[in-house]
Copies of this chain bind each other. A is one copy, B any other.
């Protein structure tokens, strides 16, 4: 039972943490390909050239490994997608940056098997337990953040905007993984732009300059 909650008093801490990090780095990639359940300890250990039991000790159970993998993936997602967008001011610009960052992250192949959460969420969507809960938290935070930025940007229905944007991003992921068509990303970007253009109310202040002729359309007040 006692997983690893011991007081790691000495300097072995460094070594262990590094190993753990290496394990998780490979684990999230593997899980993005094979799924969180298809991620097996034996496969992961042999990939890393270490023993099953040695790896196992770091997490105490498979569920522990899965939870750690979700956290690792969330961290990677935050630094690859969310953080870069924080440079933009809140509202429409940040919302655009978040979506663009998501598509870029797919195109860049941040996870070896496409979006980690796209795969994991479908796998755990109707399974109870802490792993599903943690996934719900992570994805809920992402969608909630989209919603918040849509609200700040003045969307009439921020929840709807967040749903559409998330769906289009997820669709780009699965479509590209399934058919391998690189034009998918261009379509996703176009679709995302269209959603934001249509549903975000422009601040009257800076109504004019948009990219290349998005004139005073101002859909919805």
Residues of A bordering B, CB below 8 Å: 33, 35, 37-38, 113-114, 118-119, 121-123, 125-126, 135-136, 139-140, 159-160, 163-164, 166-168, 170-172, 174-175, 177-179, 183-184, 187-188, 190-191, 194, 198
**Measured between C-beta atoms, what is the minimum distance from A122 to chain B in Å?**
5
**Measured between C-beta atoms, what is the minimum distance from A121 to chain B in Å?**
5
Complex Cα gap A168–B162 (Å): 12
Given A171-B166, A187-B163, A122 and B126 touching (CB < 8 A)?
A: no
Contact indicator A191/B167 (Cβ below 8 Å): yes
Complex Cα gap A38–B38 (Å): 9
Q: For residue A125, which residue of chain B has the nearest CB?
A: B177
Contact indicator A184/B163 (Cβ below 8 Å): yes
In the assembly, how many copies of this chain are there? Answer: 2
Q: State the 5 A-B residue pairs at the shortest beta-carbon distance, nearest first.
A: A167-B171, A125-B177, A125-B178, A163-B187, A164-B191
Best-surrounded residue of A136, A139, A174 (most CB of chain B within 10 A): A174
A-B contact pairs, 13 of them (CB 8 A): A33-B126, A35-B123, A114-B126, A122-B123, A122-B174, A122-B177, A140-B179, A160-B187, A163-B175, A163-B187, A164-B191, A167-B191, A170-B174
Q: For residue A167, which residue of chain B has the nearest CB?
A: B171
Q: For residue A32, which residue of chain B has the nearest CB?
A: B126
Contact indicator A160/B126 (Cβ below 8 Å): no
Complex Cα gap A37–B40 (Å): 14
Contact indicator B171/A163 (Cβ below 8 Å): yes
Complex Cα gap A118–B188 (Å): 18
Q: For residue A135, which residue of chain B has the nearest CB?
A: B178
Best-surrounded residue of A35, A114, A122 (most CB of chain B within 10 A): A122
Complex Cα gap A174–B11 (Å): 45
